[in-house]
A and B are shown apart, each in its own frame.
Chain A
Amino acid sequence: MPDEQFEIDILRYRPETENEPVMQTYTIPYVRDWSVLDALNHIKDNLDGTLSYRWSCKMAVCGSCGMMVNGEPKLSCNTFLRDYHPGKITVEPLAHFPIERDLIINMDSFMEKLEKIKPYLIPTEEKPLADGEHLQSPDELMKYKQYSMCINCLLCYSACPEFGLEPDFLGPAALSLALRYNLDSRDNGQDQRTRIANTDKGVWPCMFVGSCSEVCPKHVNPASAIQQTKITSTIEWYKNVLMPRGSEAGGND
């Protein structure tokens, strides 16, 4: 039985020798079990050792291997050649991020956004260790659990056209994480996070395209997180305008 072949086009970029990315075609054996990541590993091990890409767990939990497969943001470990065979695939680095080398993108801007939304519990008052743990019921956990499943794979940022057009937009993953903490019964930092979300680079660039939720491999539903945050932000704004709190200077923003 003749060995079947499979063609992969990969967008290469070598900053030390090139000014622009270049497409390069590889022909690999077609193995029904293989994921795109298996194909990349085969290329690196046997055909071209210079190919650079990120990967780690091989099981869609680490979020390292995000890339564009035929124009769609996917995890390469979770995308299978058999779904594109017969045919060929085009692999490119995650959209909307600067390319460092080959399939590796620069995600510094995302790391800054994560820090901005204060991704930690801000309790009402510091509880001394002697008082023991925070107790949380399964219902309270259910409220925010979905939004805690994010693996920071950045597929949602690649899918979001608003982020593509406005790179300062906080974006789906950062805003989902903000909601995860706002909905946590142990947290009391909603005001601080709402102030950050309720800006023209916060939730408001979002036009509810919804493609972030379409591509999310962990079903976090960031679109839902952002719409919920829009509603609470708006209610907070009206509360501040109609009933300005004495502790805040004047209530004027």
Chain B
Amino acid sequence: MTRKPYVREIPNTWWLKNNFYKAYMMREISSVFITIYSVVLLVGFFRLYQGPEAYQGWLEALQNPWSIAASVVMLLSTLYHSISWFKLAPQAMPLQFGKIRVIPGLVVGLHYLAFLAILAVVFFAISL
């Protein structure tokens, strides 16, 4: 019997094959936008340290139309990132206490609850 196993190449566009892979790539790419936004925030902290004029300059830079458009993109990226990871959280931590298995929905729900609680704290702190 002639054996000549044929190995198929994986193209760089493998992730375009179906929606599941595309959604995964979007999740991964969202990290890039989150990193960029973190840098923007760090710059803001630095400007705050540099004094009121520098901080004012940073605030104004954020208000031009391009910055606002970029912020919208970064916000949507961050939300997509968080929602997709919250959805996956029960898979990383299947909880079972004796006979009782914690339903995945509860784990996801607690994540959102914590998210909203932290959001509330941050808004409260900013409004002070």
In the complex, which residues of chain A have a beta carbon less than 8 angstroms from the beta carbon of B28?
A: 207
A22 to B1, CA, bound (A): 20
Residue contact A221 to B91, C-beta cutoff 8 Å: yes
In the complex, which residues of chain B have a beta carbon less than 8 angstroms from the beta carbon of A16?
A: 2, 4
In the complex, which residues of chain B have a beta carbon less than 8 angstroms from the beta carbon of A106?
A: 5
The answer to whether A3 has its CB under 8 Å from any CB of chain B is no
A227 to B91, CA, bound (A): 7
Size band of the interface chain B makes with A: 20 to 34
Q: Mark A131-144, 1 if CB is under 8 A from B, else 0.
A: 00000001100110
- Other-chain residue from A99, A161, A210, A228 in contact with B14 (beta carbon distance below 8 A): A161
Residue contact B88 to A15, C-beta cutoff 8 Å: no
- Other-chain residue from A71, A143, A208 in contact with B18 (beta carbon distance below 8 A): A71
| With A16-B2, A207-B28, A221-B91: A71-B17 Cβ-Cβ less than 8 Å | yes
Residue contact A13 to B14, C-beta cutoff 8 Å: no
Number of A-B residue pairs, CB cutoff 8 Å, is: 69
The answer to whether B112 has its CB under 8 Å from any CB of chain A is no
| With A161-B14, A210-B24, A214-B20: A228-B94 Cβ-Cβ less than 8 Å | yes
Residue contact B18 to A228, C-beta cutoff 8 Å: no
A29 to B17, CA, bound (A): 29
In the complex, which residues of chain A have a beta carbon less than 8 angstroms from the beta carbon of B7?
A: 98-99
Q: Mark B1-26, 1 if CB is under 8 A from A, else 0.
A: 01111111010001101101100100
A84 to B51, CA, bound (A): 66
Residue contact A95 to B2, C-beta cutoff 8 Å: no
| With A139-B99, A164-B10: A15-B3 Cβ-Cβ less than 8 Å | yes
Q: Mark A193-219, 1 if CB is under 8 A from B, else 0.
A: 000000000000001111101100000
The answer to whether A1 has its CB under 8 Å from any CB of chain B is no
Residue contact A161 to B21, C-beta cutoff 8 Å: yes
Interface residues of A in 70-101 (CB under 8 A from B): 71-72, 95-96, 98-100
In the complex, which residues of chain A have a beta carbon less than 8 angstroms from the beta carbon of B52?
A: none
Residue contact B14 to A164, C-beta cutoff 8 Å: yes
The answer to whether A20 has its CB under 8 Å from any CB of chain B is yes
Residue contact A100 to B18, C-beta cutoff 8 Å: no
In the complex, which residues of chain A have a beta carbon less than 8 angstroms from the beta carbon of B4?
A: 15-16
Residue contact A165 to B88, C-beta cutoff 8 Å: no
- Other-chain residue from A15, A142, A165 in contact with B96 (beta carbon distance below 8 A): A142
User: B-side interface residues toward A, CB under 8 Å?
Assistant: 2-8, 10, 14-15, 17-18, 20-21, 24, 28, 88, 91-94, 96, 98-99, 101
25 pairs of residues in contact across A and B, judged by CB atoms under 8 Å: A13-B6, A15-B3, A16-B2, A20-B6, A72-B18, A96-B8, A98-B6, A99-B8, A100-B5, A106-B5, A139-B99, A143-B96, A161-B14, A161-B21, A164-B10, A164-B14, A209-B21, A210-B24, A210-B91, A211-B24, A224-B94, A227-B91, A227-B92, A228-B94, A231-B93
- If A211-B21, A231-B93 are given as contacts, then 6 extra A-B residue pairs at C-beta distance below 8 Å, sorted by A number, are A21-B6, A96-B8, A106-B5, A142-B96, A142-B101, A207-B28
